[in-house]
Structure 1
């Protein structure tokens, strides 16, 4: 059985970017990282008339953008009234509108440009495993209904019918959401940006940034360099020491996923009959969906270190069989993982430690919509320099205290939360 092999297939139309860095290359904008954020920003920056170079350390799709669960979920961890209270009426309102738009950014881009991306937009369900979680969903529902969102509360009977399991007391359906093939989407974004004029180089790791005679010099480990007026570091959970303090300001977590063998006709009819995306309300949640070829794919948090064997996915397999006992004997045919970035306040962070050096990080598990939607805002900011053009305020980079010990602390927290979750069953 393949080890750490994702289920997602590349579209037939995809082509690898083939624009190596040139000698004495000079552009308006260098983007470090070719994930959803970097490629969305690149496409929109070219549309604004900028000359753009994207530099990817590995291959497009090899990071979190091509390895995630493909759930396109609008919103943030916080609901509109919290955003208004925390950021004030003007910024809070802008954030609430942005949060509502993130799924639209993905599906509108796919539809408008006819991207070859398998997709289904019929909603995401947040499944409540306790009455307390259900009451919190009722409050979230009230706030979004007041803003005209296409959402609904589900009772125990409705969610059992829509999921195919009886383990939930209720749920919340957000019909603005949906599912995609994430690998196809990031590869099609690369094709779209490349066709528009962005130059994308793969297998070039950026090793240095320095400001020299009014321009940024972006150097790579292979000895190449590009000069640019501005730089966007779009590395997110894969951030290293390129920007001082950035890596230490984030908590990188691994998201482990599995996919079953193709479901039988009876299983397919009973499990997620409407094809919705699901995540539950547990502290250490699981999320799941069906794939285009009729498998069940499920994911959740895994070990912080790199996986060593198939046993590192055992907790996801147990969760799958807890939720769907009928899959007890269904083989697991794929196991894979990717890295996601969390912030301490559970909000994306935008930084500009020096003029012309920009970065946005912190997906909080909603990176498909969030990072795609940020792209045009970041491109617009590069062209205007107006902070009001950004949905989130620009803040200083604040390294997490004792960041070197985060693995011990996060592992302990995950173990504790799993214990609490188990007691609430």
Structure 2
């Protein structure tokens, strides 16, 4: 996108074409205007349109331009944090509500994919959280205990069984989550957009919102191209890619860069030795490593960091070493594509639900787990607008945006810290 091969890399190369869209010209009246064509915005648009609401999605760039088109493609159940933390932080009722909704999140994603015939390399075969060393294995034992206590189908693989699932001796065990899976993330975003359009929603790309004003019960949104929208409701779904509009959302998020490298398709003989169940995987390190196969048999390896002029050579060398340590048979594999983007992080690793103004709603801050939560929360926002649930029924507390101090310094720390870590070598 935007003639930048490092923005979406393999995903842009292998995704089916996006549905035809155009910038907004002239004026439209709708029930709901949605700013941002990622998972949250597109899921909200689809579910609103299916309820008979007039919807316009306004996207400054292209469908899936932000994190929705750049991530690893792991469809995880739940958030990064463990169940006990959720129950303590959100309280028993809301904590269990989140655990139930997001625990069933992958089912919603894969049901939508099946119902709307979305071609996105969907595989609901589970995921592997891989233990590095004794401490990593103990952390996974605690995760298994907490998830099983709330009825989740997760189970720990000891070392030998983990080796059989991963195809690598680099890890001391692995936690399997049978609810989860993988998708081609940009293809999924484009498929959601196509489904929303078929349901009656309008999706306008190249349409940056640059003005918002309330008049009576209506919101008037202006765009950089001269178009305008009048809407009763507005959903702001820009997350880590929020710019000048609604800056309070950007102020409470710390952007964490994340990169991926993908090899050329591996030979059938090599593929017999690697991830036989096609499960996406990541490890227990703080600066983690993720790895998975795509449908064509490419190995995708990623971690924290930006592929800019300073970081690219360091992260490229690290990715080669890391891949060779996990899979020695891939030590000479050639990387075909590379790309990176931003993850929206919050101070407590929980998403934020805001009412930015009367009838202006937002959920953002997915902390690296956007596919399933974005899809679920988009549907939840649609249910709220349609009157099917109330504020008290939402899975997140309604809060005011709270700016994070020293955001630029924190982001610089993440970026340069990842360079320092990766320069030191693969971490096993």
TM-score by length of 2: 0.92
Distance change (3 Å), C-alpha of 1:417 and 1:311: closer
Q: For 1:330, which of 310, 333, 339 is the aligned residue?
A: 333
Q: For each residue in 1:263-294, what CA deviation from the matched residue of structure 2 results, as whole angstroms up to 9, or x when unmatched?
A: 12221111112211100000000111111111
Distance change (3 Å), C-alpha of 1:134 and 1:311: closer
CA distance in structure 2 between the partners assigned to 1:395 and 1:150 by the alignment? 32
Look up the SS of the partner of 2:282 in the other structure: strand
Distance change (3 Å), C-alpha of 1:224 and 1:179: same
CA distance in structure 1 between the partners assigned to 2:279 and 2:245 by the alignment? 39
- Given the alignment of the two structures, is residue 392 of structure 1 paired with residue 387 of structure 2, yes or no? no
- Long gaps (5+) in structure 1: none
Distance change (3 Å), C-alpha of 1:421 and 1:155: farther
Q: For 2:114, which of 111, 116, 125 is the aligned residue?
A: 111
Q: 1:15 aligns to what?
A: 19
Look up the SS of the partner of 2:168 in the other structure: coil
Q: 2:367 aligns to what?
A: 364
CA distance in structure 2 between the partners assigned to 1:340 and 1:246 by the alignment? 14
Distance change (3 Å), C-alpha of 1:41 and 1:3: closer
Structure 1 residue 374: deviation in Å?
0.9
Structure 1 residue 413: deviation in Å?
5.0
Structure 1 residue 24: deviation in Å?
3.2
Q: For each residue in 1:279-325, what CA deviation from the matched residue of structure 2 results, as whole angstroms up to 9, or x when unmatched?
A: 00000001111111111011111138677856553332332222222
Alignment of 1:9-408 (within 5 A): 9=13, 12=16, 14-18=18-22, 20-303=23-306, 312-384=315-387, 386-408=390-412
Q: For each residue in 1:63-106, what CA deviation from the matched residue of structure 2 results, as whole angstroms up to 9, or x when unmatched?
A: 22122111111111222222222222211111111221111121
Distance change (3 Å), C-alpha of 1:419 and 1:131: farther
Alignment size in residue pairs: 422
Distance change (3 Å), C-alpha of 1:336 and 1:252: same
Deviates more, 1:301-310 or 1:192-201: 301-310
Deviates more, 1:175-184 or 1:306-315: 306-315
Structure 1 residue 387: deviation in Å?
0.9
- Long gaps (5+) in structure 2: none
The answer to whether the Cα contact below 8 Å between 1:30 and 1:231 also exists between their aligned partners in 2 is yes
